Amino acid sequence: MGYAIETEKLTKYYGKARGIVDVDLTVEEGEIFGFIGPNGAGKSTTIRTLLGLIKKSGGSAAIFGMDCEKDKVKILSEVGYLPGEVFYYDNMRAIDLLRYSASFYKKDCTKRIKELADALSLDLNKKIEDMSLGNKKKVGIVQGLLHAPRLIILDEPTSGLDPLMQRTFFDLIQRENERGATVLFSSHILGEVQRICDRVAIIKEGRIVDLRSIDDLRKNSYKKVSFTTEQPVASFSLAGARQIAQDGLQTSFLYNGDINALLQKLSSLSLVNADVSEPELEEIFLHYYEEEAAAK
């Protein structure tokens, strides 16, 4: 099976300003792929290049084996896109917008529009401009999914959604994924990526700095450790521990190494309490930024 998305040295400059540089990405068919990085790192630029909204400056980009510029129309008929901020035509009911959207695809989408609207409890007869931000977003979601796309591209999709809606939204995305759709999902909030993604790429200042599976990232690399002792620990050190923070009787750090070594070290202390947990992605990724800062 081919890749849903494959880019090689994909580069985009806006005049002299850096957009993205040498981005290599491969997203397999059927996976949910997370794309994270801070604002301005190049997530949107990458996505917009894939969608043919902007022209690349160099490299190559392909979706389902087709070139993103040459075969744009063919690709777009298989892609559903939800931008971060949703705006539509004035003075239009949701159903009119969705019908207009559906008219671009060579299939009948009426049934799916209704199903999706029901799942999101969206009133299709309301004018879009009178809707709340969350409801506008729902229109956007239905609009992106109504043609049962094989690839769903979501650019910061959860901004403006309340936690309950986010849950409904992720359930919907997961159902689409079970239906067979590949999902590319950009975000600067790591928690939501952690929630549904299989693999994740981290982009920073226009370049991909890491690409691995969520499991690998979480289970094999870092533990979040904190413990409290009866007496203050003079200066705690352990191979594989980083970001060591000591505050009175409490010590905490991120640990990457042999778990036995960690337990031996801990058992040599007289503990009041200890906690070993999986860190949030935020904490894991912090070190990319710290390394950067250290290099400067």
Partner 1 sequence: MNVFRFELRRAWVNAAVWTLVLTGLLVGLIAGALPAFLESRVAVENMLASFPPAFAAAFGLQLDNLFSFGGFYAFGFLYYSLFGAIMASAIGLDLFSREKREKCMDFLMTKPCTRSRLFLEKLLASLALLLASNAVFMTASMLLYRAYAPDPLLPGRALLAASSLLLTELVFFAIAAFAAVFAKKIRSVSGTATAIGFAGFLLSALYSLLGEEKLRYITPFKYYDASKAFFDGVFEAKYALVGAVLTLALMIAAYARYTRADIPAL
- Element of type H or E holding 3: strand 3-14
Q: What angle do CA 34, 37, 40 make, to 5 degrees?
A: 130
**Structural contact between residues 45 and 56, judged by C-beta atoms closer than 8 angstroms:** no
Site membership for partner 1, residue 72 (CB under 8 A):
yes
Can you tell me the distance from the alpha carbon of 84 to that of 154, in angstroms, rounded to the nearest whole number?
8
Does the protein bind partner 1 through residue 88 (CB under 8 A)? Answer: yes
48 binds partner 1 (CB under 8 A): yes
Residue 263: HSE in the Cβ half-sphere, 13 Å Cα cutoff: 3
Give yes or no for residue 185 binding partner 1 (CB under 8 A).
no
Least Cβ distance, residue 128 to partner 1 (angstroms): 10
Options 44-52, 164-172, 181-189, 219-227: segment touching partner 1 (CB under 8 A): 44-52
Closest distance between partner 1 and the C-beta of residue 44, in Å?
5
Q: Rounded to whole angstroms, how far apart are CA atoms 176 and 179?
A: 5
Interface with partner 1, residue 133, by CB under 8 A: no
Closest CB to partner 1 among residues 100, 289: 100
Confirm or reject binding of residue 103 to partner 1 (CB under 8 A): yes
Residue whose tokens read 């849950």: 167
Q: Do 253 and 242 contact (CB within 8 A), yes or no?
A: yes
Task: Give the nearer residue to partner 1 in terms of CB position, either 7 or 101.
Answer: 101
- 13 sits near partner 1 (criterion: CB under 8 A): no
Contacts with partner 1, 109-128, as mask; x by CB under 8 A: --------------------
Between 181 and 217, whose beta carbon lies closer to partner 1? 181
C-alpha 29/C-alpha 185 separation (Å) is: 14
Q: Which of 9, 67, 70, 87 binds partner 1 (CB under 8 A)?
A: 87
Q: Which of 37, 83, 160, 279 binds partner 1 (CB under 8 A)?
A: 83
Residue located via tokens 């979501």? 154
Residue 105 contacts partner 1 per CB under 8 A: yes
Q: Are 97 and 142 in contact (CB under 8 A)?
A: no
